[in-house]
Amino acid sequence: MTATYVYDAVRTPFGRAAGALSGVRPDDLAALVMRAAVERTGVDPARIADVIFGDANQAGEDNRNVARFGALLAGFPTSVTGVTVNRLCASSVEAVIQGARAIESGDAEIVLAGGVESMSRAPYVVEKSAKPWPGVGNQTMWNTSIGWRMTNRALPTPWTISNGESAEKIAREWGISREQQDAFSVASHQKAAKAWADGVYDSEVVQVPGHELARDEGIRDDTSVEKLAGLKPLFATDGTGTVTAGNASSINDGASAVLLAGEGVLPGEPLARIAGRAAHGVDPDVFPIAPIEAANKALARAGKTWADVDFVELNEAFASQSLACLAGWPDLDPARLNIHGGAIAIGHPLGASGGRIIGHAAHELKRRGGGVAVAAICIGVGQGLAVVLER
C-alpha cells in the first residue's frame, strides 16, 4: 500500500475574535493557504486530485462547500474538486486523514488538505417555526461563533453540558487545581512567544496581505500566574470553578493547509510520513480526555510506543483538558508536550487547528532531522483524533 507523506504545511497567523483578521472572509483565508501551499512547493495545481478542507461552522460565508470555493478563489483549475468535512475541532485532522486514505488506496496521488474558521464572522441564525407564517418575535436567535445550539432534548441531560462545564468536570474528577491550570497556561504563552522570537514559525506561517499581523494575535508575553489568578471562573460561579478565560483557548480566525502525496510523487524531500491515525469516543460530558486513547490507538497502529515519541502536539482547548491528557500518558515527559506553545496562546480557530498541529509537528521533525511525533486533539460531543508522524 502506498504511504502518505506531508510535503509542506502552511498556515496564517491566528487572529483574535474581532481582531486583525475579522474583516477577512473564511473562503479568502482558505484560498490564501491553498495558493501558498502550491507556490511554495512548485506543484502544478492541476495535479491535485482533491482539496479536502475542514470547517466546523459552515453557517455563514463558509456555508457552500468552502473547500471548493477556496480552490476556485486560489485560481486552481475548475477540474480540481473540493469537499468540506466537519468533525468539529478536529475537522482539519479529519481532512488530512481522508486525504491520506485516498492516496493509500490509490484514488489520488496528491491531495491538499487543511481547514479554516472565521469565528469572528460566524453569523447569527434563527430557528424556523414548524408552523407556517409564525408571528414576528417568537423565534430564538443563536450566535454560531461557538457552542452547542438547538440541542436535541432527547439526549441525556449530562451529555448536553457546555464544553467549559466539561472542562470543569474534568478538573474536579482528575484533581487538577486552578493553580496548575494557570501555570500551564502561562507556560503556553511563554513558549509561543519564545518560538516566534526565535523564528521557529517563520517557515510555516504566511502573512495575510493587507493585514499587519506579524504573529499569532492571542499570545500575551506579559501574562503571569498572578494576573491569571485575578480572572473569574466562567462556568461555575458557586466558588468551586477553576476554568477561566485565561486557562482556556480563545475565539479565533485562521486557516491551515497540508500538502499530501505519495513517496516520490513530488520533487524534494517530504517533511514527514503519516505512520498511524485513530479516533476514539467517550461520553460527551468528558470529551476532553478522548485524545488519550486516540493517541494510544494511533501509536499501536503505527507500530510505536510512547518510548518512541519525541514530542506531542496536543490542541489546548482547556488547560484542564491538556493536564488530564498528560496524566493519561504517564510515559510522556511533560517537557515534550507543545514545546512551542499551544492553542491557549496561539489560538483555536476550530476548523484550522488540526492542520496547525499536524503541520507544526511535520516542520519540527524536519528541523530535528528525524523522529516520531503525535498530533492529537479533543472534539466536542465526546471524540478524540490523533495522527502519528515519522521522519
Per the structure block, which three cell numbers stand in for 75? 485560481
Helix (H) or strand (E) holding 346: helix 343-346
**The one catalytic residue among 280, 340, 348, 363:** 348
Helix (H) or strand (E) holding 344: helix 343-346
Residue the block writes with cell 478542507: 53
Q: How far apart are CA 332 and CA 311, in angstroms?
A: 8
Q: How far apart are CA 18 and CA 20, in angstroms?
A: 7
**The one catalytic residue among 89, 280, 340, 360:** 89
What letter represents residue 90's amino acid?
Answer: A
Cβ atoms of 330 and 260 within 8 Å: the answer is no
325 is catalytic: no
89 is catalytic: yes
348 is catalytic: yes
Cβ atoms of 344 and 81 within 8 Å: the answer is no
**The one catalytic residue among 189, 340, 363, 378:** 378
DSSP letter (8 states) at residue 150: S
**What single string gives the DSSP state of each residue in 175-224?**
T--HHHHHHHHHHHHHHHHHHHHTTTTTTTB-PPTT----S-TT--TT--
Cβ atoms of 245 and 319 within 8 Å: the answer is no
Q: Which residues are catalytic?
A: 89, 348, 378
